[in-house]
Each structure stands twice: as structure tokens, then as C-alpha cells.
Copies of this chain bind each other. A is one copy, B any other.
């Protein structure tokens, strides 16, 4: 059994990790660290876990086999500075501290996108888990990038659920504001652009064109729907492109190309990513859907853990879709 510790245990991604790991056949959850809720039953905070665990939050950190860091952005580095982590303890950081600056002491963090870095993930002790928008957008473009086929400006609109904004209540997550509402935020300047660009370049697209990305706030809780297009020069036939995508993801247990248009709920509450590809007016148009908390965060983190410990990549991640 793998001894696991979850740090920052009261937030959304920690809750989602607990939901997954509690049924993982090779995991023992040793501790759930929270400085604000010490002693409280985990099931009192993450109320759906009532009856499923007797764990309580603690602030006593004992080195496990792997730590999941579920802290606010910027706090992972601070945690590692303030605590002594044994050399053999693996780290999976769900924040963004190490995605673009991957070094801490003598630890080097690998960008944990299983579909592009599987072999390096198997060898590393340190994972920077990808961001949710980044995951949905990279998976839409990765096969093309692997062939150095991204040459023209890329246009992305992606709409995210409210859980992407975290647990702390705010004006834009107030139900009265958000219900039946749509808005844009951080257009052309979202912080995930950097990890998207880095990943596509290292996949083989040496000179990456501009990515124009307009993120939108949706009136739903879970999921990301990304709509991505770029000019297409027909240097590959439409069929060849679709075959490229299918073969690129043939080894992935969670990424599939749909021949029919997709709608977001087809992946909600699963670790899957579905892609759909069409060609119009000289453009290739790719839609991509994930659950922001599963494939976009905690599910992908567990997928990374599975690879790091030599387990089947999909162990504990065959989740029933919500579907409705």
C-alpha cells in the first residue's frame, strides 16, 4: 500500500482527491493536513464522505510515500521550505508553483501531463500537476504540435465551472450572480498560457504561434469546454489528421476522439478527455472537454501517482460519469 498525505485538506481539490483515493485499492490515506481544521472529521468538511471515513484533519506531518500539495497557488514552495521532506517522499503539487519554474533544492519537477510525459513521470519523484484550462487546451493541440503543424495563430475560447474558482466565496461565485450568467475574465492573459506554450513546444512545435485565449465563467459547477481553431493548410488530409489524433492517444486510457459533436457533461465526474475535430472554411476546429476537478486536477494527480509507483495508470480512476 502507498502511504499518502494530503496537504491543504479542506479545499476543493483535496476533497476530490479524498473521494478518489478512499476507493483506490493500493492507497492508504495516512494523514489529511489542515492548519485551520485540526481535529475535525474529514466527513464534516467534505460532507459527501459521511459514513465513508473516520479520518480527522491533523497538523502533524509525518513523511509518507507521497504528498499531494493542495494549497493555494504560491503556497507549495512555502510549505516545502517550512517542512522537512524526506528524500524518498514523492511530491505531487496541484498548485502552479513548479509548472514553469520546476526546481526546488535538488528536486526537479516534471510537468505531469501523462499523455506527453509518461516515461519521465515514471522516473521522477516530483510532479507539477497541470492546470485545468491547460489540460483541456494542450490535449486539443498536442498531436498537431508533435508534428510541428501549429504555424498560424490559434484561437481559443474555453468556459469553466465555478469549482475552478475555489471554495472561498466571492462576488463572481455568488449564486445570485452566477446562475444563468456568462462572463469573460483575463482575456488574452490567463496564467495557463505559459505552461500551454512550453508543453506544445517541447512536444515538437519549435516555433509556436500566438495563442489567443479568452477564458469564460460558466453557470455550472464542474467541467471545461474548450473550443480551439487555427488555419489549416491541408498539408495533411482531414482523415489523416483524425487518424493522427487517434493514434497519438491510442495508449491513453482516458483521451478519446469522438466522431460526433460532444457536450461537456459526457465527461463530468470522470478522468476522461473527449475531443472532436471538424474542418471548416480553411480552419481546423477542435472541441475538448474535461472535468476541471478530475482530469483537470485531482484525477490527473492520481494518474500521475499511479505511473510514479508503477501501477496501472487507470487504477482507481474508472469513475462513473455523472452524465446528467
A47-58 contact mask (Cβ, 8 Å, vs B): 1 or 0 = 111110000000
> 21 interchain pairs (CB within 8 A)?
A19-B320, A47-B266, A49-B321, A51-B272, A162-B175, A163-B176, A173-B174, A175-B177, A176-B324, A177-B324, A179-B179, A179-B219, A179-B324, A180-B220, A180-B221, A180-B265, A182-B225, A182-B263, A183-B264, A214-B229, A214-B285
- What is the copy number of this chain in the assembly? 4
Q: Is the CB of B176 within 8 A of A167?
A: yes
Q: Which of A93-101, A200-208, A276-284, A303-311 is near enough to bind chain B?
A: A276-284
Is A242 interfacial (CB 8 A cutoff)? no
Measured between beta carbons, the chain B residues less than 8 angstroms from A256 are: 50-51
Measured between beta carbons, the chain B residues less than 8 angstroms from A280 are: 187-189
Q: Beyond A159-B159, A216-B227, list 15 extra A-B contacts (CB 8 Å).
A: A20-B320, A47-B260, A48-B266, A48-B321, A155-B155, A163-B324, A167-B176, A181-B264, A182-B225, A188-B280, A218-B218, A219-B219, A222-B324, A268-B322, A269-B320
Is A169 interfacial (CB 8 A cutoff)? yes
Measured between beta carbons, the chain B residues less than 8 angstroms from A175 are: 162, 173-175, 177-179, 219, 221
Measured between beta carbons, the chain B residues less than 8 angstroms from A155 are: 155, 212
Measured between beta carbons, the chain B residues less than 8 angstroms from A171 are: 169
Q: How far is the CB of A74 from chain B (nearest CB, A)?
A: 22
- From 132 to 186 in chain A, residues with beta carbon under 8 angstroms from any chain B beta carbon are 155, 157, 159, 161-163, 167, 169-171, 173-185
Q: Give the interface size class of chain A.
A: 35 or more
Is A1 interfacial (CB 8 A cutoff)? no
Q: Which residue of B lies closest to A19 (CB)?
A: B320
A216-241 contact mask (Cβ, 8 Å, vs B): 1 or 0 = 11111111010101000000000000
Measured between beta carbons, the chain B residues less than 8 angstroms from A283 are: 188, 212
A312-324 contact mask (Cβ, 8 Å, vs B): 1 or 0 = 0000001111111
Q: Which residue of B lies closest to A273 (CB)?
A: B51
Cα-based distance from A12 to B321 in the complex (angstroms):
13
Q: Is the CB of B174 within 8 A of A265?
A: no
Is A126 interfacial (CB 8 A cutoff)? no
- From 28 to 68 in chain A, residues with beta carbon under 8 angstroms from any chain B beta carbon are 44, 46-51
Cα-based distance from A158 to B281 in the complex (angstroms):
18
Is A210 interfacial (CB 8 A cutoff)? yes
Q: How far is the CB of A231 from chain B (nearest CB, A)?
A: 9
Measured between beta carbons, the chain B residues less than 8 angstroms from A187 are: 227, 278, 280, 285
Is A287 interfacial (CB 8 A cutoff)? yes
Q: Is the CB of B181 within 8 A of A263?
A: yes
Q: How far is the CB of A237 from chain B (nearest CB, A)?
A: 19
